[in-house]
A = this chain, B = another copy of it.
Amino acid sequence: MSKDFSLSCPVPHAPGETVTLAHGSGGRLMHQLIGRIFLSAFTDPALHEAHDGARLEPCQDRLAFTTDSFVVRPLFFPGGDIGSLAVHGTCNDLAMCGAQPMYLSCGFIIEEGLALSALDAVAKSMAAAADEVGVRIVTGDTKVVERGKGDGLYLNTAGVGRIVAPNPVSPDRVKPGQLVIVSGDVGAHGAAILSVREGLKFETALKSDAAHLWPAVRELLEAEADVACLRDLTRGGLATALNEIAQKAGCAITIDEEKVPVRPEVEGACEMFGLDPLYMACEGRLAAFVPPDHGDRTLAALKAAGGSPVVIGTVGEKPAGEVRLKTRIGVERVLDMLSGEQLPRIC
């Protein structure tokens, strides 16, 4: 479906103006919306070509490809919004494949009645987040659904990146003996969303950790750390990510609760609601699996990228597919995957 981002004619919108069904029609109003909001925020020449798709620059490297939809509620939260999240999330998935984010697509599903000012803020935030990591927003699409058939805005981004890691970065390369390293404290994104929904106030403000992980991966590759696997700790948090990897790799993973960094305000919010920070989503944290003799350079590289990395555990052989937690009181227990989730719609 054609060139949904075309025909530029940026006109400022009146306060209180909202998206109507006709804005999703393919007609003149849609072209105006795209011109006013999207083309003024997204300035890539490939996007402005107004064609059905973007031609990418020739690339000799192998490519990675990923997608994510974002349904976070509320749209704006401390430390980010659905727009920056949609850029971080997809770029981070590319980085987790050892790939430098190159190109993004974006698909907007807008509920009739959304304030144009909100849409504008989201688009600007996407553009800023994309600039920050050097990824190009090159193609897009806009749909509008009737009032009551959405929730303000859903956003999809797909991403293409060039794989720069010399070896595959994949759960298949996780082996017994490797270290499990997290790049910083966990759970802040989920806790920040929770705090807005529940109207919590803490002495120290809860803020999402949403951020780009590519700079950390770049540092790791420059330090020639032999990274077997990387995983960003999003939906389901650290515990779910480790379970997925243990199952895929057919290994056991043991981590030390005491070593997992959790900020006091995140701990506090979790306690208040009976939630476990190990299952709380992050949007700017990764777990890295590396051979023991690459631990030091991994820690140094993650630090150089602004993180506060910690070795939290190791990979073992048995029981295959299981994650075990050494608790603070010294007991070891299974750290299972949750059945559902503690907090829906955090991303």
Contact = CB atoms under 8 A, between A and B. Distances in A.
A169 B49 CA distance: 11
Interface in A166-201: 168, 170-172
Given A69-B108, A69-B109, A171 B51 contact: yes
Contacts of A103: 65
A298 interface: no
Contacts of A204: none
A96 to B, nearest CB: 4
A3 interface: yes
Work out how many copies of this chain go into the complex. Answer: 2
Interface in A43-66: 49-59, 62-66
A66 B53 contact: yes
A158 interface: yes
Interface in A108-153: 108-109, 138-141, 143-146, 148-151
Nearest to A337: B28
Given A1-B93, A50-B244, A52-B97, A66 B25 contact: no
A241 B231 CA distance: 43
Contacts of A55: 62-64, 97, 163, 168
A53 B49 contact: no
A266 interface: no
Contacts of A27: 236, 240, 337-341
Interface in A221-267: 230-232, 234-236, 240-241, 244, 247-248
Contacts of A341: 22, 24-27
A300 interface: no
Among all A-B residue pairs, the 9 with the closest Cβ atoms: A22-B340, A25-B341, A26-B235, A53-B66, A26-B236, A158-B158, A67-B105, A1-B234, A156-B156
